Amino acid sequence: MTKWLEDHLPKLMLAPSFVAVLVFVYGFIAWTAWVSLTRSRLLPKYEIEGLIQYERLFASPRWDTALNNLYIFGALFIVIAMALGLLMAILLDQNIRTEGAIRTIYLYPMALSMIVTGTAWKWILNPGLGLEAMVKGWGFERFSFNWIVDPDMAIYTVVIAALWQSSGFVMALFLAGLRSVDGEIIKAAQVDGIPTWRIYTAIIIPSMAPIFLSAFIVLAHLAIKSFDLVIALTGGGPGFATDLPATYMYAMAFSRGDIGQAASSAMVMMAVVFAIVVPYLYSELRSQKDD
Amino acid sequence: MTELVTSPARGQSQAVRVLLRWSLYIALGFFVLIYLMPLFVMVTTSLKSLEEIRTGDLVALPRAVTFDAWFTAWSGACTGIKCEGVKPYFWNSVLIAVPAVAISTLVGAINGYVVAQWRFRGANIIFALMLFGCFIPFQVVLLPMARVLGIMGIAGTIQGLIFVHVVYGIGFTTLFFRNYYVTIPVELTKAAKVDGAGFFRIFWSIFLPLSLPIIVVTVIWQFTQIWNDFLFGVSFSQAGTQPVTVALNNIVNSTTGVKEYNVDMAAAIIAAFPTLLVYVVAGKYFIRGLTAGSVKG
């Protein structure tokens, strides 16, 4: 008996976590998928009715706005965060004496809650008392910066706050990448008299392709999950102008009492994440097996 | 690496190099200002009176420093109907984060040890399944979790939130420990087994003493995640059990009474303080967790 126990102990120790993951991740996804195919409203129903919830979802103007916002927000956030991160990493990678301190400053927003970030930017972007009022106070009476209350522009304030929060992190990724480029090749290129910008565009940046991919995955993942920042910054408003799929799902689940819509919108989010993360995880796990 | 941009390339004069070096520092300084500005604005706004906020400049230093907003934020600000500041919610967050971090780290250590050192058939598949769990959008589990917490009788409680954070934290903690233990040769475990040491003995006397760096990374990662969580906190708490992030959001978005921006800012700094402190004290480990957690699969 003790021998059996000793032999199976590793499996037994892993078993509770395995069961937990099976139930609370995969079982729950299955539950949500199931309910997304029913007529559930306030309470879940379990008779499958087909794709009616998805038809309702894609017919809903609010969901339409949420998806559009995700495209705008996601694209701008990912592209600008990568560009800024790369720029800051290259600037920092020039034997700066105070590099450690500067790096710390670029990265600290990452330690903050999105709710804190949203609160801070909500105040800064407040047209009556924040940035706009300040510039007006400097004598530029006609200066206007009221994006946060403008339904057409409010989503861009979410981009600004998200960039402030996360671009330092992208910088850290790229900085690590720059440090791992073979110094010999660069020296050789310098000796050959190749101009610096060519060294970057032709040698260093192409060799960092895996890091671009990682940064993309991380940022895309952050963008899809973005919820707290919108809640704190704009509350999804003005109106529903800054709704994202995550806030739509939450509103349906907890304030509208529309479980069917909540489940189907969650499944769409899941599908998007799946499409991005699974190929990445698969290749990562494979490359680990190889070495 | 070498200082590429400003290293002496052919045909660059001394003047050009100095100019480049200066523009480099100006660019870096510009970004430093941008990153520090919100924190600066938060701190100065929290130290101003409402009167001064209405009449003054966003980035101006306070003319008369007052800590009133801090006292209000800590013990008097209103979240909906109650006006007891962020204090009770701050302690809720502590009560949630401390056990959840401890349990998920311990479970992750054991899991990582099993997956990396006791490789039985199927262990890798289990690990891959757990890993994928780290990446799901949590919206997909909110509805069933709300029901299950109700069935378990811990809906709206601190215990319920601890449970949720542990369940969805073990994927990452397992990943951290697994990636760390995988670098330790399996021969070590095998030799110890031959010498008669058991599963726990080997973990306790060989692996745990080696684990301090990864424990620090994991604890910091989990603490930051759980302290900063909003989605689970707002979905699975009740009036008395909300974590500080939820309370902060309620204070800021409460529509009753005069908007007290200075109180909002003080409350935000209080809510941010623990994770900022961790970052300042142990930033190196924080960054290691970030890169390990989000890059390496």
Residue B269 predicted with pLDDT over 90 = yes
Residue B277 predicted with pLDDT over 50 = yes
A220 has a chain B CB within 8 A of its CB: no
Mark whether B199 and B239 lie in a shared domain: yes
- Chain B CB contacts of A6 under 8 Å are 198-199
What does the pLDDT read at residue B118?
87
C-alpha distances in Å from residue A261, one per residue of A46, A57, A69, A257, B233: 14, 7, 18, 9, 22
Confidence at B94, pLDDT banded by 50, 70, 90? very high
Mean pLDDT of B6-25: 75
Does B1 map to a domain? no
For B1, the closest of A18, A183, A254 (CB atoms) is A183
Does B259 map to a domain? yes
Domain housing B245: 87-294
Does B2 map to a domain? no
Query: Do A241 and B104 touch, CB atoms closer than 8 A?
Result: no
Question: Range with the lowest mean pLDDT among A76-90, A139-153, A240-254, B207-221?
Answer: A139-153
Mean pLDDT of B98-107: 96
Q: What percent of chain B stands above pLDDT 90?
A: 42
Mark whether B51 and B158 lie in a shared domain: no
| Number of domains chain B is built from | 2
- Chain B CB contacts of A28 under 8 Å are 140-141, 144-145
Mark whether B227 and B172 lie in a shared domain: yes
Mean pLDDT of A255-280: 89
Residue B16 predicted with pLDDT over 90 = no
Does B21 map to a domain? yes
What does the pLDDT read at residue B144?
93
What does the pLDDT read at residue A145?
82
Mark whether B204 and B289 lie in a shared domain: yes
- Chain B CB contacts of A129 under 8 Å are 53-54, 58, 261
The answer to whether B114 contacts A35, with C-beta atoms less than 8 Å apart, is no
What does the pLDDT read at residue B11?
56
pTM of the model: 0.89
Residue B6 predicted with pLDDT over 70 = no
Residue A158 in tokens: 């979410």
Based on C-alpha coordinates, what's the Rg of chain A? 24
What does the pLDDT read at residue A1?
66
What does the pLDDT read at residue A19?
93
Tens digits of per-residue pLDDT, A189-235?
Answer: 888 888 888 888 888 888 888 888 888 888 988 888 889 999 999 88
Residue B289 predicted with pLDDT over 80 = no
Residue A291 predicted with pLDDT over 50 = no
- Chain B CB contacts of A254 under 8 Å are 235
What does the pLDDT read at residue A50?
81
Residue B208 predicted with pLDDT over 70 = yes
Task: Specify the CATH number for the domain of residue B208.
Answer: 1.10.3720.10
Tens digits of per-residue pLDDT, A16-44?
Answer: 999 999 999 999 999 999 999 888 887 88
Confidence at B9, pLDDT banded by 50, 70, 90? low
Helix (H) or strand (E) holding A219: helix A209-225
Mark whether B45 and B168 lie in a shared domain: no
Mark whether B105 and B248 lie in a shared domain: yes
User: Which residue in B98, B100, B71 sits closest to B83, CA to CA?
Assistant: B71
C-alpha distances in Å from residue B10, one per residue of A190, A250, B25: 9, 60, 22
What does the pLDDT read at residue A4?
82
Quick one: closest CA in A to B284, which residue?
Answer: A104
Quick one: closest CA in B to A212, which residue?
Answer: B295
User: Which residue in B259, B88, B61, B252 sits closest to A113, CA to CA?
Assistant: B252
In this predicted model, which residue has the larger pLDDT, B102 or A291? B102
Q: Chain B neighbours among A 28-57 (CB < 8 Å)?
A: 28-29, 31-32, 35, 44
Residue B1 predicted with pLDDT over 50 = no
CA distance A92 to B1: 11
- Chain B CB contacts of A218 under 8 Å are 294-295
Mean pLDDT of B86-100: 93
In this predicted model, which residue has the larger pLDDT, B230 or A99? B230
Does B6 map to a domain? no
CA distance A245 to A73: 12
Mark whether B258 and B212 lie in a shared domain: yes
Does B102 map to a domain? yes
Mark whether B131 and B209 lie in a shared domain: yes
What does the pLDDT read at residue B3?
54
Mark whether B290 and B248 lie in a shared domain: yes
Mark whether B170 and B62 lie in a shared domain: no
Does B81 map to a domain? no
Q: Is the ipTM of this complex over 0.85?
A: yes
Q: What angle do CA B135, B248, B258 make, to 5 degrees?
A: 145
What does the pLDDT read at residue B262?
87
The 3-state DSSP class for residue B14 equals helix
Confidence at B293, pLDDT banded by 50, 70, 90? low
**Closest CA–CA distance from residue A268 to any residue of chain B (Å):** 9
Q: Virtual CA dihedral for A15, A16, A21, A26, nearest 10 degrees?
A: 80
Mean pLDDT of B222-251: 92
Mean pLDDT of B86-97: 93
The answer to whether A111 contacts B123, with C-beta atoms less than 8 Å apart, is no
Average pLDDT along chain A: 87
What does the pLDDT read at residue A278?
81
Question: What CATH architecture does domain A61-290 belong to?
Answer: Orthogonal Bundle (1.10)
For B120, the closest of A10, A178, A231 (CB atoms) is A10
The answer to whether B199 contacts A13, with C-beta atoms less than 8 Å apart, is yes
Mark whether B40 and B159 lie in a shared domain: no
Tens digits of per-residue pLDDT, B34-78?
Answer: 999 999 999 998 888 888 888 778 777 888 888 888 888 888 777
Tens digits of per-residue pLDDT, B116-171?
Answer: 888 888 888 888 888 888 888 999 999 999 999 999 999 889 999 999 999 999 99
Confidence at A288, pLDDT banded by 50, 70, 90? low
Confidence at A289, pLDDT banded by 50, 70, 90? low
Quick one: closest CA in B to A221, which residue?
Answer: B135
In this predicted model, which residue has the larger pLDDT, A265 or A53? A265
Residue B297 predicted with pLDDT over 50 = no
Does B4 map to a domain? no
Mark whether B124 and B236 lie in a shared domain: yes
